[in-house]
Amino acid sequence: MLKKALKLMHEFGAAGVMGSLGTCIVIAATAPRQPLAAVAATWQTVAAITRYLFLPSLALVLITGLLAIAANEPYKNAAWAWLKALLGISMFEGSLLTVVAGARRASALATLAASGGGEPERLAAVLRMQWGGLWLLLALSAVNVVLAVWRPRLTWRKSRH
């Protein structure tokens, strides 16, 4: 029962991660480029999605994934499971530095630019980083799904002494 509950929560979390990233990409792709107040509102929306949906979903995926490894003896020796865990932890760290913080930065810079201040080049650089970060995290999420479905027979290399 515990294993099934962990799997279900892990899958719900994965849907939240990929759904929130996809939503942020659609919002960013269809957002107005002017006026800057609209740009600021767009990135406030993206920041809210990353904070209230993406991060909790990613945390749920990480926690349930690690608990699933602990609860399933075959997973403990499965390289694919540990690769998924490593990718998930990397996503969490990377998302905090790029997507979550970047959405807040983009919103603040656009708000500042709308009021006549700020540097448009800096805003453009942050928006490029956001766009790339969203796509990268979505790609890593897809890799994790493929690993979970395919479960390749990766092997550990044993050193010969």
Position 76, amino acid? K
CB 145 within 8 A of CB 70: no
Position 160 scores a pLDDT of 64
Position 155, amino acid? T
Position 161 scores a pLDDT of 61
Task: List Cα–Cα distances, 142 to 35, 54, 88, 137, in angstroms.
Answer: 34, 15, 11, 9
Task: Return d(Cα 81, Cα 133) in angstroms, integer.
Answer: 24
Q: Where are the domains of the chain?
A: 2-150
Pair of tokens at residue 40 = 């600021």
Q: Which residue reads 């998302």 in tokens?
A: 95
Task: Return d(Cα 147, Cα 132) in angstroms, integer.
Answer: 23
Pair of tokens at residue 104 = 């807040």
Residue 124 host element (H or E): helix 120-150
Position 64 scores a pLDDT of 95
CB 28 within 8 A of CB 131: yes
Backbone angles phi, psi at 31, to 5 degrees: -70, 150
Pair of tokens at residue 38 = 């609209």
CB-based burial label for 86 (10 Å; 0-12, 13-18, 19+): exposed
Helix and strand element counts for the chain (H, E): 7, 0
Digit-by-digit pLDDT tens for the chain (161 residues) are 889 999 999 999 999 999 999 999 999 999 998 898 999 999 999 999 999 999 999 999 999 999 999 999 988 888 899 999 999 999 998 888 888 999 999 999 999 988 888 888 899 999 999 999 999 999 999 999 998 888 887 665 666 66
